[in-house]
Structure 1
């Protein structure tokens, strides 16, 4: 059974998923960072593929991608690093590959699915993947390799589209907290809370995780009130840049979220 299915099948609440850019702050630091997250009990990790034009990412993650690219990070290198470190990680911690479509097409889509499965990846997020392309090309591969494609929804996504995603996709639904890029924010406003409530009241069949703007105990708590948990990215990347080691960055992150 896929690790994501097992994680959400426990009816676990307050799930914490952490995004990290592969190859940041150093090319060979990916394994060390994933091991630190695993040892700290983080529930799920997104491993970001650095890309030159990351349209969904704010300045912090954009800069981490630029650094990782200068360090020499590539998709083949990322998959090698994940495969090497996977035996050291908790077996119940899902790894989600997050990247953009262009590098994946260059790599080869079926080759990507095969190599992700071999490396120990449990799902894929492609923010710029058109839904029709998912249905026509990716859906069969997702189910063949048991690698769900995690789709994003935003406050601008129509209810009919949300129900279509809920029906056609597996894994969980990634709720983007606002119609913007990633980044650290002090809190959520009443409009965002209304959006969280409206999605919760749709009674979708798949679990939901809220991301973008999770940066303190308050935002983490509100996300968990309306979904299975929260995804933290920019805050952790900032700590990776400022702390002496990935383990110190993880400790600071958990303290900031009140965990």
Structure 2
């Protein structure tokens, strides 16, 4: 059974996924950051593959993408860094990226490498569902990769149910229309959206992302889903860190305790 499925079988709520950009702040920080995320108590590690035009991401993550690319990060380099990481990392690991660099690498070669190093799933925001079903679903399943789709407050009930039908890991609930970025608090309008989706009784667990940054927003999101994803606020912690290992663990502990 995939590690993502195992996680949600044993843990139903307050699941914390942490996003970071591979090769940021320094090129060789990828695996040390992963180790610190796990040691801090996060449940899922989400590796961001740097891309020059990350359309779903706000300024903080965009900047980390640029720095990582300037550092020399590429998919080839990332897979080299990830070789053997499963000797130390036991939590589920998903890779978040955009289609362009993956297609340049070769989709089957990419999926095969993901399986070789121990990646559990993919989040590809610009992969249309129909293209996934027609071209890639069998390939992902062949290599044991769970695909995660995103929904937002603008997503229709019909579309949400379609996504739920074709998902097998978790659904990424974007908390608001727009791009990633830490915001102050969760609005009544967002809570109404969370409750509306909760009432649909979907078969897949849901994690809320975009605007989750601290213990308060994590707890509020977890009241209406299985947990949350933190990205921009974590990237800011990494950017300002004087001691990556200590600061990462301290930040995650501040969110979950």
TM-score (norm 2): 0.97
Which of 126, 130, 133 aligns to 1:132? It is 130
Q: How does 1:94-133 map to 2 (within 5 A)?
A: 94-133=92-131
Partner of 1:88: 88
Q: Which runs of 5+ in 1 are unaligned?
A: none
Which residue pairs with 2:241 in the alignment? 243
Q: CA deviation at 1:151?
A: 0.3
In structure 2, how many angstroms separate the alpha carbons of the residues matched to 1:58 and 1:249?
23
CA distance in 2 between counterparts of 1:27 and 1:228 reads 33
**Structure 2 unmatched runs, 5+:** none
Which residue does 1:178 correspond to in 2? 176
Match of 1:201 in 2: 199
1:98 is displaced (CA, Å) by 0.2
CA contact (8 A) 1:51 1:69 kept: yes
Equivalent position SS for 2:83: helix
Considering Cα pairs closer than 8 Å and 6+ residues apart, tell me whether 1 or 2 has the greater RCO. 2
Q: Could you tell me which of 213, 217, 220 is aligned with 2:218?
A: 220
Deviation per residue, 1:37-93 (Å, 9 max, x gap)? 12222110100000000000000000000000000000111122122322111x2x0
SS of 2:95 mapped into structure 1 = strand
Q: Distance in 1 between matches of 2:256 and 2:201?
A: 28
SS of equivalent residue, structure 1 residue 124: strand
1:32 equivalent in structure 2: 32
Q: 1:17, 1:45 within 8 Å by CA — same for their partners in 2? A: yes
- The separation in 2 between residues aligned to 1:38 and 1:189, in whole angstroms, is 30
Match for 1:148 among 146, 149, 166? 146
| Equivalent-residue separation in structure 2 for 1:12 and 1:196 (angstroms) | 16
Residues 80 and 119 of structure 1 are in contact (CA less than 8 Å); yes or no, is this contact kept in structure 2? Answer: no
228-237 vs 134-143, which moves further: 134-143
Measure the CA separation in 2 of the matches of 1:173 and 1:83: 28
